[in-house]
A and B are shown apart, each in its own frame.
Chain A
Amino acid sequence: QKEVEQNSGPLSVPEGAIASLNCTYSDRGSQSFFWYRQYSGKSPELIMSIYSNGDKEDGRFTAQLNKASQYVSLLIRDSQPSDSATYLCAVKGSSASKIIFGSGTRLSIRP
């Protein structure tokens, strides 16, 4: 079982709709959770961090964390073509100092 799992996509969403990206993780003791956006040919950019159960909103982005289900998601409201990118879920485990990255979900926003 992979430590951090994401659906690789591609996920195609019409412009203006809500894009929902999902991630599960295996380390039940994990405490820190991150979403990165990576445009083709660019380095990953941190867009959301979440540390406690529930929702965290930042502009059009909402991160949701459910530690009991070991599940973290990212919602993008009013999707724009500029949101087309690969989204990486990352989790910091309970004992290690390193962050584990998922394989990424490729999101495509169609006009």
Chain B
Amino acid sequence: SAVISQKPSRDICQRGTSLTIQCQVDSQVTMMFWYRQQPGQSLTLIATANQGSEATYESGFVIDKFPISRPNLTFSTLTVSNLSPEDSSIYLCSVEFLWNEQFFGPGTRLTVL
């Protein structure tokens, strides 16, 4: 596995603003993912962060709302744009190692007022 960190751990934002979440891994990984977990719900994949190319988004998620950067093999950012209360959720990054095992960062708890 690896040490995965996320910043910020939590934030409270105003409607209409944006929040950028950082994910840092202590070793190089090919596959990084961004998930959303709404209260009491399971994990929903937002996108796969590809190094050197555009992220691959899941159905229902678009680049304008959730722009992602992946400048190298240890770092990625997810921006949640034009925030609304419905975006209040926990956002998680994960990385994949051998045998398809995914490990999660500690998460970012976002509250939109």
Write the residues of chain A forming the contact surface with B, with a CB cutoff of 8 angstroms.
32, 34, 42-46, 49, 51, 88, 90, 92, 97-99, 101-104
Contacts and interface: CB of A to CB of B under 8 A. Distances in A.
Identify the interface centre among B41, B48, B92, B101: most chain A CB within 10 Å of its CB: B101
Chain B interface category by residue count: 10 to 19
B104 A99 contact: no
B42 A104 contact: yes
A101 B42 contact: yes
Interface of B: 1, 31, 33, 41-43, 45, 48, 58, 92, 99-107
B102 A46 contact: yes
B101 A43 contact: no
A99 B58 CA distance: 12
B42 A103 contact: yes
A63 to B, nearest CB: 13
13 contacts: A42-B106, A42-B107, A43-B92, A43-B104, A44-B92, A46-B102, A88-B43, A90-B102, A98-B48, A102-B42, A103-B41, A103-B42, A104-B42
